Structure formats: C-alpha cells, structure tokens
Amino acid sequence: MRRLTWSDVTPKPIWLNRRQLMTGAATLLATPALARLDPEPTPSRYSTTEAPNALEDITAYNNFYEFGTGKGDPAEYAGAMKTDPWSIVIDGLVDRPGTYDLADVMKGQPLEERIYRLRCVEAWSMVVPWIGFELAGLLNRVGVQSGAKFVAFETLARPEEMPGQASPFIEWPYREGLRLDEAMHPLTILATGLYGEAMPNQNGAPIRLVVPWKYGFKSIKSIVRISLVDKMPPTTWNMLQPSEYGFYSNVNPKVDHPRWSQASERRIGAGLFGGRQDTLMFNGYEAEVAGLYVGQDLTVDF
Ligand code: MTE
C-alpha cells in the first residue's frame, strides 16, 4: 500500500531543493533528477508565501492529547501508534457508506502541497507545508445525501497505544465537526503528509483534517470515522468547556477567549524577541471564507 506517491523516495534536502527550483517551471523540467518523481503533489494556489517552520518545530511542539498534555509528549510517545493497516468508517447520510481502507480513501484524489498557517487557540502559530487533498473530493465520491448538514469526525481510540487516553479529562474518542459547506470548501483538506514525507505520528498519521481558517483544535488527527449527519455534532473542546470553545472556532482577533486575547499570536521558531504578530481575521483566509458566514453574528457563533 502506498500512502504517498513520492514522499518515500524524496528525502527532505531534495524537497527543499525542489521548492527553490519550482519558482521556474523551465528549470524544473530541465532537471533530470526531478523528472523521475512521478507523480508528485502539485503546488497549490492556496499556499501562503510565508516561510514554513522548520521540520523540528512542526514535529516536536504538538498538541495530541491522546499522548499527553505536554508539547513534547506526542513526539515522545506517538511512535507506539500503529498506523498500518488503517481504515476509515464513512457512514450516516451517504450513498456509499462503508469501511474504506486508507489507500481507497486516497484513490483518485489529487495530492497537493498546501502551505498553510496553523493558528492554535493558545495564541501561537506555525506555517506547515502539508501534503493532502480536498475533503470535498472524498465526500463527493461517497455521495452526500440531501439531508446531511454537518460532518462529524473521530480519532482513533486505542488506549494500549495512547497513554493519554488513560486520563478521563477528555471523553474519548477525540471528536470534531464542520458544517457541510465548511467541509466542502476547497481550503479544507485531509492531509497525509508534510514536508514531502508521510505524516509523522505526532502530527496525526496517517490522515488528519486541516481547516486553516479555524483554531488548530478543529484539525482533528488520526481520523478513523467520518459521519454525515443532520444535526450539529458534539465536539471535544465544546463538550469540555462550551463557554470557551464554540462549535465554529473560526480564528477571530476580535473575539477573545474568555481567559486571554486572540488579537495577536507568537510564531513558533521566530526567536524570543521576534515573532509576535497580529492575528488576521479567519487566519488570513478572509477573502476565501468570509462568505460562508454572511448573516451570522460571529460573537454568538464563535
Ligand atoms: N487531534 C486529536 N485527535 N487530538 C488532539 O489533542 N489537538 C488539536 C489538533 N488536533 C488534537 C488534535 C490542537 S489543539 C492543535 S493546535 C492541532 O491538532 C495541532 O496540530 P500539530 O501538532 O500538527 O501542530
């Protein structure tokens, strides 16, 4: 089973090299070593031009409560999570429900490199070069029925491999949800890798959601179930503390968390004295997604 089409043959230095070369398509075509990487994810028009964080930042500073609450816990313990074989149950209001093997989930979905900002609700941010495909592509393939209004997601629950699940602080499995129009938006992707490599376990291997205009906790990791439903589904952080974490959780510098400001953020890896920057409405994706929320009061639907 091939999880990625080229990650396994493309060490990071080549990836970095390739990115520099990608600025000129002619150069790319003229480079024989690169022509062999076939097929490969195409760069996306949705990518930010900001410099990606270092791989070390992206893989050593994580939130993945199944492995503990410390930022270093996922890197330390997620290696025990078995990600092969992997399947996803797709059920609810769909024409073709079933248990889909990961390879089948990815079948026919064009992989892209999407360099996205990730803004955590804790007011830090990173830039991550994901490899993934649009969730809409998968949903269209399984056939969304007319009664479906929301999409619910669940993470793996396997306490033997996930020491954090010994804690009853969260009602496992970790859950998230999107409104159907958010799920179908082209910015919403299922990511299977980053930096041209298969997804590291601590980042949500083998497949996780990435919704770049929402706080990071909406981007649920290690997905085993996707359900099309007619009602707003329960979500982990909203269940834990509804006054602090709403269902929508769009990045919004004008709506503060009850315990801290959301007006600015610390860019991980930017150094002690730099890196504080203003948070942008919808994390900078306002032009693309503001239309989804016309007529909604975002201080109520936070
Ligand atoms: N998914 C699961 N299953 N469990 C988690 O604890 N943490 C979320 C999100 N997805 C989390 C999760 C939070 S709070 C953030 S900020 C992002 O993952 C972090 O993703 P990263 O570690 O790849 O940066």
pLDDT tens for each residue of 226-271:
999 999 999 999 999 999 999 999 999 999 999 999 999 999 998 7
Q: Which residue's CA is the nearest one to ligand 1's atom 11? A: 64
Ligand 1 centre to CA of 62 (Å) is 7
Phi and psi angles of residue 267, each rounded to the nearest 5 degrees, phi first: -80, 115
Q: Is the pLDDT of residue 12 over 60?
A: no
Q: What distance in Å separates the CA atoms of residue 160 and residue 92, rounded to the nearest whole number?
A: 28
The CATH classification of domain 6-289, taken from the options 3.40.50.150, 3.30.110.30, 3.90.420.10, 3.40.50.300: 3.90.420.10
Domain definitions of the chain by residue range: 6-289
Q: Which residue's CA is the nearest one to ligand 1's atom 22? A: 62
The H or E element containing residue 98 is strand 98-101
Ligand 1 centre to CA of 194 (Å) is 15
Q: Which residues surround ligand 1 with Cβ inside 6 Å?
A: 62-66, 118, 120, 155, 174, 203, 216-217, 219-222
Q: Which residue's CA is the nearest one to ligand 1's atom 23? A: 203
Phi and psi angles of residue 275, each rounded to the nearest 5 degrees, phi first: 90, -10
**β pairing state of 42-43 and 223-229:** unpaired
Q: Is 104 helix (H, G, I), strand (E, B) or coil?
A: helix
pLDDT tens for each residue of 74-114:
999 999 999 999 999 999 999 999 999 999 999 999 999 99
pLDDT tens for each residue of 195-230:
999 999 999 999 999 999 999 999 999 999 999 999
Dmax over CA atoms of the chain, in Å, equals 56
Rounded to two decimals, what is the model's pTM?
A: 0.89
User: What DSSP letter does each residue of 43-93 carry, written as one string?
Assistant: E-TT---SPPPPHHHHHHS---GGG-SSTTHHHHHGGG---SS-EEEEEES
User: What DSSP letter does each residue of 108-177 carry, written as one string?
Assistant: TPPPEEEEEEEE-TTSEEEEEEEEEEEHHHHHHHH-B-TT--EEEEEE---TTT-GGGG-TTS-SSPEEE
